[in-house]
């Protein structure tokens, strides 16, 4: 019989795939068992310390007769696992709790809780995590005066984080309030002239500092969202998303069918071309009241469209913004959004975004 070559021996003597897998399983079980034992020992130490007892190491296992005691090796001291710091939930390397729920970093009150830098920026309401990562990589973020370029760098509430030179802070609780705005209130946080603002209407709704998303004219009524969620507010007002808005417009004279067609076809205003998504008579008995759906967020856009065509707007009421309506909310009253409404807003549901934008 011909002798096998060295190369053949190398492959012939190699362990089969099943043997390799079994060895891997055994090693994995061993590592898990050691980790489990270490965890149990640490918990026992903590319990003993809480009871004021002196911790005693468990007795060493009895050696078998086939395993004689070695006399020529120096005994190595057992590692003191009690000296290791206990990592709090929400800190570096934290894992979800037993129930599978991830820790909510914004609810952590301890200043040493650590989260990734891009997540810190997103929770501060500046922008989304992806945009935050780009800001960090572009060198526009500093932590305690040092410019950082790693989005995953861990920071805490105690750190001073600035974005484009402006210091930012974590939001503790996100608040979402729907207001049915009346006339004679301006949509701003404060007014140097001392005029009434929409914040006067939601006093007592929350202890958090909220602000209006977008603007409604002083004499425009209807749906207005107030929140402290900066990331959501930016999405809802950014022109690229073209969020749906529906208005009821009361005019000084009947609107002709020709002008309705013109509004859908588009008109050119001083700041550019604009076209409504749809328009029609809101009341079959009167052509003075028109409903208009539009995605543009330009300033006073609905009023300017009708004024351009020679109409005087007597009343303007926003009946829908994104997926929000003023149903069951009386004028000047407010309510908190429910969980489903918030979820639809956060995920920019396709029902209230221009279709061609949603599918791009």
> What backbone phi and psi angles, to 5 degrees, belong to 155?
-130, 165
Alpha helices in the chain (DSSP H): 6-12, 17-50, 117-123, 129-137, 230-237, 257-265, 301-308, 339-346, 355-358
Question: How far is residue 27's CA from residue 33's CA, in Å, rounded to a whole number?
Answer: 10
- Please tell me the number of Cα atoms within 13 Å of 251 on its side-chain side: 29
Known catalytic residues are 217
**Would you state the torsion angle of the CA atoms of residues 274, 279, 283, 288, taken in this order, to the nearest 10 degrees?**
30
129 neighbors 119 (Cβ within 8 angstroms):
yes
DSSP per position, 279-319: EEEEETTEEEEEEEEE----TTHHHHHHHHTT--EEEEEEE
Nearest residue to 117 (alpha-carbon basis) of 93, 86, 142: 142
Question: How far is residue 179's CA from residue 202's CA, in Å, rounded to a whole number?
Answer: 8
Helix, strand or coil, per DSSP, at residue 267: strand
129 neighbors 122 (Cβ within 8 angstroms):
yes
- What letter would DSSP give residue 112? T
Ramachandran quadrant class, 105 (left: phi over 0; alpha: psi -120 to 50; beta: rest): alpha
Nearest residue to 296 (alpha-carbon basis) of 258, 246, 223: 246
35: Cβ contacts below 8 Å, ≥ 6 apart: none
Nearest residue to 237 (alpha-carbon basis) of 126, 122, 322, 338: 322
Question: How far is residue 280's CA from residue 248's CA, in Å, rounded to a whole number?
Answer: 10
């Amino acid at each position: 019989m011909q002798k096998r070559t060295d190369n053949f021996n190398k492959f012939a003597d190699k362990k089969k795939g099943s043997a390799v897998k079994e060895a891997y399983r055994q090693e994995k079980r061993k590592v898990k068992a050691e980790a489990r034992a270490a965890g149990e020992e640490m918990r026992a130490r903590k319990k003993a310390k809480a009871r004021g007892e002196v911790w005693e190491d468990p007795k060493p296992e009895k050696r078998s007769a086939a395993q004689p005691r070695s006399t020529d090796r120096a005994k190595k001291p057992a590692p003191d696992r009690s000296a290791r710091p206990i990592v709090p939930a929400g800190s570096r390397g934290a894992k979800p709790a037993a129930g599978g729920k991830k820790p909510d970093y914004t609810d952590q009150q301890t200043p040493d809780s650590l989260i990734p830098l891009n997540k810190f920026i997103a929770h501060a309401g500046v922008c989304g995590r992806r945009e935050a990562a780009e800001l960090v990589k572009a060198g526009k973020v500093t932590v305690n005066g040092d410019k950082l370029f790693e989005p995953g760098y861990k920071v805490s509430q105690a750190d001073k984080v600035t974005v484009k030179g402006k210091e930012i802070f974590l939001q503790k609780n996100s608040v979402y309030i729907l207001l049915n705005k009346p006339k004679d209130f301006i949509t701003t946080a404060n007014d140097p002239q001392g005029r009434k603002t929409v914040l006067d209407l939601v006093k007592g709704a929350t202890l958090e500092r909220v602000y209006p998303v977008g603007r409604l004219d002083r004499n425009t009524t209807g749906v207005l969202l107030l929140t402290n969620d900066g990331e959501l507010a930016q999405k809802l007002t950014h022109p690229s998303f073209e969020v749906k808005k529906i208005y009821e417009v009361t005019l000084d004279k009947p609107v002709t069918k020709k002008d309705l067609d013109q509004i859908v076809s588009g008109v050119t205003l001083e700041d550019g071309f604009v076209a409504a998504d749809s328009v029609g008579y809101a009341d079959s008995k009167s052509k003075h009241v028109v409903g208009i759906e539009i995605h543009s967020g330009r300033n006073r856009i609905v009023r300017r469209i009708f004024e351009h065509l020679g109409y005087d707007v007597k009343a303007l009421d926003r009946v829908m913004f994104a997926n929000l309506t003023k149903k069951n909310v009386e004028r000047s009253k407010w309510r908190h959004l429910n969980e489903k409404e918030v979820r639809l807003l956060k995920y920019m549901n396709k029902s209230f975004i221009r279709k061609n934008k949603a599918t791009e």
